[in-house]
Amino acid sequence: MDKYTQGRVDSQVRRASQCRRQILEDQDLCFTELLPKEQIEAAIDRHKVRYRERLYTPLVTIWTFLYQELAPDQSCRAAVARLLAFLCVGGNGSGSAKTDPYCKARGRLPEELLADLARSSGGDLQREVPSTKLLGGRTIKIADGTTVSMADTPANQKTYPQQSAQKEGLGFPIMRMVL
């Protein structure tokens, strides 16, 4: 093996070893700083989420879902494979590569719980940033907009008039919403 290839292999082995060490120390799928266990458990208690003690507890499901959303491969299969790799490194090789238990557990997560976690972690991030680092000292707000097609009634046409590019009487009134 030439020196170039040997150097690449050595660095890959070193990185894998560091990752394994971090997983064993953290015991949390590497999300301690992003979404701490205590924060999730407090939200689970606040929302009185009941669950059976299985592999996909709300805590594990949320961390796996977070990984799924942040990973380049956002498939359920890749998220479950990462969880299984985490379990194997930690010495617990039990678990199935099937995705349906994970998908069902994800579907059981209350939306209010996830919204609460998003608000609380966003608030934590907001408090960590000094006001001098904000855009001109102002708070940054995010808005999202969408449209909804309305029934074609005279009342809706009056309240939600057609776009100027549409011919009169064609199409449905469109309500615009900003969240």
Output phi, psi for 2, to 5 deg: -75, 170
Give the least confident one: 24-33, 56-65, 74-83. Answer: 24-33
The pLDDT tens digits for 4-58 are 444 555 655 565 555 545 544 545 556 767 788 889 899 999 999 888 888 888 9
Sequence-distant (≥ 6) Cβ neighbours of residue 84 within 8 angstroms:
95, 97
Residue type at position 79: A
Same-domain pairing of 126 and 51: yes
Query: Is 137 among the domain residues?
Result: no
Query: Is 91 among the domain residues?
Result: yes
Same-domain pairing of 99 and 149: no
Same-domain pairing of 78 and 151: no
Sequence-distant (≥ 6) Cβ neighbours of residue 95 within 8 angstroms:
55, 83, 84, 87
Residue type at position 10: D
Same-domain pairing of 164 and 100: no
Alpha helices in 27-110 (DSSP H): 37-46, 58-70, 76-89, 100-108
Residue 127 sits in which domain range?
Answer: 3-131
Q: Which two tokens stand for residue 92?
A: 């617990």
Supply the angle between the helices 58-70 and 100-108 in degrees, to the nearest 10: 110
Sequence-distant (≥ 6) Cβ neighbours of residue 146 within 8 angstroms:
176, 177, 179
How many percent of the chain have pLDDT more than 90? 22
Question: How big is the chain, counted in residues?
Answer: 179
Same-domain pairing of 49 and 125: yes
The pLDDT tens digits for 117-174 are 999 888 887 788 777 777 777 777 788 999 888 888 888 888 887 777 777 767 788 8
Same-domain pairing of 113 and 170: no
- Tell me the C-alpha distance between 65 and 6, whole Å: 36
Same-domain pairing of 113 and 68: yes
